[in-house]
Amino acid sequence: MSTYKEIRGLKVRDYTTNPDNPIEGQLWYNETDNVARYRIPNVISSWRTANALNTAREHLGGTGTNNTSALAFGGSNASDTRVAVTELFNGTSWTEVNDLQAANRLMADFGTATAAVSATGSSGPSPAQTLNVEYWDGTNWAEGANVNTARYGKPGGAGISTSGLIFGGYINPGSPSVRAETESWNGSSWTEVSDLNTARYNTTGDGSSNTSALCFGGNTPPNTANTESWNGSAWTEVNNLNTARRDLDGAGDVPAALCFGGYTSTAVSNTEQWNGTSWTEVNDVNTARYNTGGDGSTTSALVFGGNTGSKTTDTEAWTANAPVGAWATGGSLNTARIQMAGCGESSTAALAFGGEVPGSFSALNESYNGTSFTEVGDLNAAKEGLAGAGSQTSGLAVGGKTSIPTTVGQTESWNGSAWTEVADLNTVRHTLACTGETNTAAIAVGGAPPDSVANAEKWNGSSWTEVGDLNSGRQGLGAAGTYTAALGFGGFNGTAVLASTESWNDSSWTEVNDLNTARNALGGAGIYTSALAFAGDVPPNTGKTEDWNGVSWQETSDMSTARQGGIATAGDVNSTDALAAGGGTGPSGYLSATEEWSGSSNTDKTISTD
Amino acid sequence: MAKTYQYCVAENWGKGFIDHDESWRITFKGYPANVWQVPAYNKHANLWIAKVAGAVKTKDEAQALVDAEVQAAQAAWDALPEEQKTDDNPRPADITLEE
């Protein structure tokens, strides 16, 4: 029998209890509990919203390999009319490309975003079904070899553009109408092969070629959970879906597939994962829907369009085994403060400055090294409601109030040892946001003098220049990014607490997807493609945290202490490392508590020897 | 009715009080008076309370501690000059702990 050392090249080390800082994958023996333990990363597989199709539709075709590359074609638009519209997804957005030769819906589909097949379907008035097949070469659709049996009712499709399979479907008039025929495509012609064991329509399937496919769900009628596996010559019954349904979609292959959405007696959001043997329920699609387009694999998939009660443009992306982040308490501030500001690169290199202590404003500045805060050079002027940007050695303190009625545009620049007064903002303001990497490159945005403003100003190291305004004036917003590519999110516009997010491209602000939870006086960290929004006042104060992937916000692990109002934040690299220090919380007010964000976390598992 | 949460009093000493693993395993909520809410009947929560030497409180005991702090803060706010009772400095709100 092999030993662990022979396999891994290491011995299992004994510890009295557990090692202080085990690394991911480490195995050890706990002598106190007499068990072996190992450390694994915490991960989650889930759907998150992505940018929407341009044309709302159901009964469409969809092909692709993952959640960054997909093709959507045909379908029924909002007025239930067949369309030929084709859209290409690049991981961020959908773009209209060349149409199908003929408007079509309820077709079989297979292939990728650059080489796809739209086979048969419903493109005529009577009979509806067509023999036609169209082939996508990455630029255009062209008609090619026809199938042998015309059918619609969304036959299943599997494979790639040179080796594919279609199966099932519906013929009207037909005897029977519900079909089991399977046809194999070899890149030049279609050949009839063995039928499905269970005839069905409005089904789905996946597979890598004309010798490897899976067919699951559909309408026989009634709705079925039946699953069959194709080996190149025959269909074999395998384990059923947990939820029988029709009008569903799927992604993957025979060894590993994903089934999502569909219709039972209503639209469903259920997602199930196939491991080659059985289906297991996993995290649902966020919006229940049926008659969608879909593509990808069990690790990276996309669902788009469909019917949620009406035709939709909604798109969602599935990512498997994404790291789960978490907050941990860090070293506390020496002086608890609210309405302060911060800057820094990470949770191990940050500054926290200014703010309000009971009864007065503060010029205090504290430096964090990942363990504790140390007092360093004070600001030249005590102030609250200011904003911070830059790094631990090259920072900016911008705007704020120097007394209750006095709002200022003061800017102070930090060189790693002292603050120096530099040129003021053009528009005095407090409770603004500011983001940037150094004390020579930052953008200040929003704030209140006292009404919420939309002004944005860019700092070049010597002066502020007015640039394009936010679409929505606000104060108490969060920000992330650089002075050429930034995000502003949340805040308060004088009437309502906001969830809206705006993206800065060095020219103008554009509204993008909203936060899930509207909030004021929140914290922000990261860059415009990978950011974190945390804490704030909903009201009440919250510890909710959301991460931004460049397209949408997703809720992630909460802070342990809800807080709002002038949190000193740091972390300008991405959404995997951030710091939140101080701020206000409920009635206690002035917080010194600090929390550190890590974009990944681990769990220690015990090996059972029973 | 089985309770969903348990409460303890523990002073946050900073780094290591709640680590990333505990934060992932347990949903923490911190309240005034060093009151912490964690899931009831949860092994990891119990281990964390032991680690921080938390003093376990019933929900009513924890509520009383929170109420005392809230009421003190409300009294302090009430005593503020009117010009300091602004929109961005609202009166501290009552907090109701969950069962």
pLDDT in tens, A466-516: 999 999 999 999 999 999 999 999 999 999 999 999 999 999 999 999 999
**pLDDT value at position B88?**
65
Task: List Cα–Cα distances, B32 to A591, A610, B92, in angstroms.
Answer: 10, 45, 12
The arithmetic mean of pLDDT across residues A459-464, rounded, is: 97
Q: Which of A310, A278, A153 is nearest to A219 (CA)?
A: A153
Q: Whole-angstrom Cα distance, residue A516 to residue A528? A: 17
Whether residue B5 lies within 8 A of chain A, CB to CB, comes out as no
**pLDDT value at position A359?**
86
The arithmetic mean of pLDDT across residues A279-299, rounded, is: 96
Q: Whole-angstrom Cα distance, residue A366 to residue A570? A: 13
Residue A570: is its pLDDT beyond 90?
A: no
Domain region containing B57:
5-84
Residue A162: is its pLDDT beyond 80?
A: yes
0.85 surpassed by complex ipTM:
no
Residues A232, A237, A241: CA angle, nearest 5 degrees: 115
Residue A265 or A5, more confident: A265
Inside any domain, residue B92: no
List phi, psi (to 5°) of A306.
105, -165
Residue A573: is its pLDDT beyond 90?
A: no
Chain B residues lying within 8 Å of A539, measured CB to CB: 93
The arithmetic mean of pLDDT across residues B9-19, rounded, is: 91
3 state SS of B47: helix
3 state SS of A345: strand
Inside any domain, residue B94: no
The arithmetic mean of pLDDT across residues A532-540, rounded, is: 93
Q: What is the pLDDT of residues A40-70, one digit of tens each?
A: 888 889 999 899 999 999 999 999 999 999 9
Chain B residues lying within 8 Å of A326, measured CB to CB: 20-21, 23-24
Strand ranges (DSSP E) for A287-417? 293-296, 300-304, 315-323, 326-330, 341-346, 349-353, 356-357, 360-361, 365-368, 373-376, 387-390, 395-403, 406-414
Whether residue B93 lies within 8 A of chain A, CB to CB, comes out as yes
Res. A222 pLDDT band, cuts 50 70 90: very high
Task: List Cα–Cα distances, A537 to A344, A429, A477, A541, B74, in angstroms.
Answer: 23, 20, 11, 4, 18
Q: Give the residue from B5, B9, B18 with the most A CB atoms within 10 Å of its CB, the best one to mutate.
A: B18
Contact of B50 with B12, CB cutoff 8 Å: no
Chain B residues lying within 8 Å of A588, measured CB to CB: 32, 69, 73
When CB atoms are compared, the residue of B20, B73, B74 closest to A328 is B20
Chain A residues lying within 8 Å of B63, measured CB to CB: none
Q: Which of residues 64-83 of B touch A (CB under 8 A)?
A: 69-70, 72-74, 83
In chain A, whose CA is at the least distance from the CA of B19? Answer: A328
Asked if A328 lies within 8 A of B72 by C-beta distance, the reply is no
Q: Give the residue from A332, A537, A560 with the most B CB atoms within 10 Å of its CB, the best one to mutate.
A: A560
Q: 């108490």: which residue's tokens?
A: A476
Inside any domain, residue B53: yes
What's the whole-number average pLDDT of chain A?
Answer: 94
Chain B residues lying within 8 Å of A602, measured CB to CB: 20-21
Whether residue A153 lies within 8 A of chain B, CB to CB, comes out as no
Task: List Cα–Cα distances, A509 to A54, A487, A500, B26, in angstroms.
Answer: 21, 9, 12, 38
Inside any domain, residue B98: no
Q: Regarding beta strands A27-30 and A13-15, do their DSSP bridges make them parallel or antiparallel, or are they unpaired?
A: parallel
Percent of chain A with pLDDT over 90: 85
Contact of A601 with B23, CB cutoff 8 Å: yes
Q: 């309405």: which residue's tokens?
A: A339
Cα A566 to its chain centre, rounded Å, is 27
The arithmetic mean of pLDDT across residues A524-545, rounded, is: 94
Inside any domain, residue B40: yes
Q: Whole-angstrom Cα distance, residue A155 to residue A582? A: 59
Residue A609: is its pLDDT beyond 70?
A: no
Window from A21-30, A308-317, A357-366, A423-432 with minimum mean pLDDT: A21-30
Domains of chain B: total: 1
**pLDDT value at position A610?**
59
Which amino acid, one-letter code, is at A117?
Answer: V
Whether residue B23 lies within 8 A of chain A, CB to CB, comes out as yes
Chain A residues lying within 8 Å of B84, measured CB to CB: 404
Task: Compute the count of residue pairs across chains A and B with CB atoms less than 8 Å apart.
Answer: 94
Whether residue A93 lies within 8 A of chain B, CB to CB, comes out as no
Res. B91 pLDDT band, cuts 50 70 90: confident
- H/E segment holding residue A420: strand A419-422
**pLDDT value at position A588?**
62
**pLDDT value at position A587?**
64
* Closest CA–CA distance from residue B30 to any residue of chain A (Å): 5
Return the C-alpha torsion angle A236, A239, A245, A247, nearest 10.
Answer: -40
Window from A407-411, A458-462, B30-34 with minimum mean pLDDT: B30-34
Whether residue A602 lies within 8 A of chain B, CB to CB, comes out as yes
Inside any domain, residue B93: no
Whether residue A46 lies within 8 A of chain B, CB to CB, comes out as no
Whether residue A231 lies within 8 A of chain B, CB to CB, comes out as no
* Closest CA–CA distance from residue A359 to any residue of chain B (Å): 10
Strand ranges (DSSP E) for A115-196? 116-119, 133-136, 141-143, 156-160, 163-167, 182-185, 190-193
The arithmetic mean of pLDDT across residues A446-456, rounded, is: 92
The arithmetic mean of pLDDT across residues A140-169, rounded, is: 97
> What pTM does this model have?
0.86
Res. A313 pLDDT band, cuts 50 70 90: very high
Residues A187, A192, A196: CA angle, nearest 5 degrees: 115
Res. B1 pLDDT band, cuts 50 70 90: low
Inside any domain, residue B90: no
Domains of chain A: 4-40 (no CATH), 48-264+277-323 (2.120.10.80), 338-522 (2.120.10.80)
Inside any domain, residue B68: yes
**pLDDT value at position A41?**
87
